[in-house]
Amino acid sequence: MVDRVVGQLSLADALALSDTTQLDQIATVIDWMPIRALLGQRSGPGKGNTSYPAETLLRCLFLGVWNNLSDPALEMQLRDRLSFRRFAGFSLSDRT
């Protein structure tokens, strides 16, 4: 299984940049490096579908808990809200 590459920003992402949100501020305050090291890699040897990186999934979990969203509702909000996409690390062209 291989980790998906998420967050490759494009011209469309730069054009869609809006004002700084509370989620942007939270993302800059948290030191993600130790968390990333703690989480490690999700992928392992062998075949299988690509998986999202562990940090992306943790950020999505935070969004779901902070906003009291079910998994389907979180998925819908990730497709709809730019602030959610930025916080989770998805570019406009990434599949959610």
Report which of 17, 87, 91, 26 is spatially closest to residue 58, judged by C-alpha positions: 87
Average pLDDT, the chain: 82
Q: What pLDDT is recorded for position 3?
A: 53
- Residue 32, domain member (yes or no): yes
Q: Which helix (H) or strand (E) holds 34?
A: helix 32-39
- Residue 81, domain member (yes or no): yes
Q: Which pLDDT tens digit goes with each residue over 47-85?
A: 767 778 889 999 999 999 999 999 999 999 999 998 899
- Residue 18, domain member (yes or no): yes
Domain count for the chain = 1
Share of the chain above pLDDT 90, in %: 34
| Angular region, 46: left φ>0, alpha ψ -120 to 50, beta rest | left
- Residue 21, domain member (yes or no): yes
Report which of 64, 68, 60, 69 is spatially closest to residue 89, judged by C-alpha positions: 60
Question: Which pTM value belongs to this model?
Answer: 0.74
pLDDT for residue 23 is more than 80: yes
- Residue 39, domain member (yes or no): yes
Structural domain of 19: 11-43+51-88
- Residue 28, domain member (yes or no): yes
- Residue 93, domain member (yes or no): no
Q: What pLDDT is recorded for position 45?
A: 67
